[in-house]
Structure 1
Amino acid sequence: MPQNTYVMVPGAWHGGWSWRPVAERLRAAGHRVVTLTLPGLGDGDDPANRRLSDAVDHVVAEVERLDLSAVVLVGHSWGGYVITGAAHRLVGRVAKVVYYSAHVPVRGRSLVDDNPPESAAFLRGLIDSSPDGSIAPTLGFVRQLFLQDSTPETQRLVADLLVPQPGGYFLDALDVDDVTTLGIPALYVLSEDDHALPLPGAEYAARIGLEPVLVPGAHDGLLTHPDEIAKALV
């Protein structure tokens, strides 16, 4: 029997593929792993008119469809919003919530609103200027924010795999408190060279009373340092 059941939620612009290197290592250790691609973030998906509730609904539906229990719910980056919302609806099925270089949301505050004012205005401008209300990925994002420590070849490959991020996912807030109010254990894992989070990772961890567990790599260290991240999750 598997030791744990991990449900892995990707960050913005990413799909379930981004968790595969970590997932393969967890499976090799005997764990069950489900990697999810959220609505609007699959290859060829339409990002228009997506709301944060769509992403949360998808995670809840998949856990219930697969009849999973004792779930370790893991979210990367923006996925912290999704796992927080899902955990509140999966009480009794979720045994632990893990934030990896992730946002820890504040009730009633969207990701955009939780950014410093200049960054918030920049994100709103990108969304407002897009015909489908999405934020297109760029090679610059990858080079400067996600994988600044990787080779140009790796950066280009990851940039080619990213898809537009539905703007509604950044503009919507959760109407729930943090997961500690549910009595569910939590863990915060942070890449040491993360340049993508708008606030220091330690500040997000402190929102749920934690000190971050540090792992090597940049924001997308799940692709470049899967061994260390898998070990931290276990």
Structure 2
Amino acid sequence: MNYVFIPGAWHGGWSWTPVAHRVRAAGHLAYTLTMPGLTLGDSPRDLRLADATDHLIHEIESRDLTDVVLVGHSWAGFPITAAAPRLTARLREIVFFSAFVPLRGQSMLAAFGPEAEAFYLSVIEADPDHGIGLDYETFRGTLMPDGPDEAARIVFEQLIPQPGGYMSEALDVDGVATLGVPVRYLLAENDTGLAAPGPELAARAGVEPIMVPGGHEALLTHPDEIAKALLG
């Protein structure tokens, strides 16, 4: 099988590398993708959600991958949901890992409520590159509250401002539950970084959550367990 891993907001393909190594050791192929604008030196200014979706589709089609297990973390629920209808014939399974499952017409920012949406839209407008940064306190408090501070700071130093268009734009597609492709939802049991309760998000995908250990960054802190769940 071909496992294609999509990272969450502020992250690159590097965040999936520990899990991908274990998937490869089990005899599969694994690809860790970084979305446009999330490599150091990239500009996020004019990027739209469609750019992330198109990039994901191009990477799979240009490699002529089939039997694909498409795995998305956190914000990556948006591009994998958008890409799945255009990749159906190539997909073996769709896996959300502590990921947002988008509703038609609702952006990532809108999912956090009107006050948060208004605040972050003002942040995007004020930033010369139209990006959204992340401060260490927020990262440590919501995304990676577990583990030693030294490890958390190493992860934090890898983060890149998220293109504002990725967060402010909504999808106009049906959810993955209607595609006829198997879906799983892996939910980190101590996740405090989701915009809605994990069981509710899993239900949007038409499934019950499968619990795995760790918090929102469990792909880095518990790669053995996440890889085992993916391969199981």
- Which TM-score band (shorter chain)? over 0.9
Specify the code of the residue in structure 1 equivalent to 2:92.
A
3-state secondary structure, aligned to 2:4: strand
3-state secondary structure, aligned to 1:188: strand
1:130 CA displacement: 1.5
1:174 CA displacement: 1.1
Alignment of 1:138-149 (within 5 A): 138-149=135-146
3-state secondary structure, aligned to 1:95: strand
Q: Paired residue for 1:154?
A: 151
Could you give the per-residue CA deviations for residues 38-59 of structure 1, whole angstroms, max 9, x where no partner exists? 0000121111111000000001
Checking the alignment, whether the CA contact within 8 Å between 1:216 and 1:228 is kept in structure 2 is: yes
Gaps of 5+ in 1: none
Q: Paired residue for 1:14?
A: 11
Q: Paired residue for 2:199?
A: 202
1:70 CA displacement: 1.0
TM-score w.r.t. length of structure 2: 0.97
3-state secondary structure, aligned to 1:91: helix
1:207 CA displacement: 0.8
Distance 2:213 2:119 in 1: 29
Higher normalized helix content (fraction of residues): 2
Is 1:228 aligned to residue 225 of structure 2?
Answer: yes
Could you give the per-residue CA deviations for residues 187-234 of structure 1, whole angstroms, max 9, x where no partner exists? 000111111112111110011221111111110110000011111111
Distance 1:117 1:173 in 2: 15
Provide the identity percentage: 54
1:177 CA displacement: 0.3
Is 1:186 aligned to residue 183 of structure 2?
Answer: yes
Could you give the per-residue CA deviations for residues 82-140 of structure 1, whole angstroms, max 9, x where no partner exists? 10111111120011100000000111211112222333233223222212110112212
Gaps of 5+ in 2: none
Checking the alignment, whether the CA contact within 8 Å between 2:143 and 2:215 is kept in structure 1 is: yes
TM-score w.r.t. length of structure 1: 0.96
Distance 1:137 1:98 in 2: 26
Q: How many residues align?
A: 231
Q: Paired residue for 1:62?
A: 59
Specify the code of the residue in structure 2 equivalent to 1:220.
E
Specify the code of the residue in structure 2 equivalent to 1:97.
I
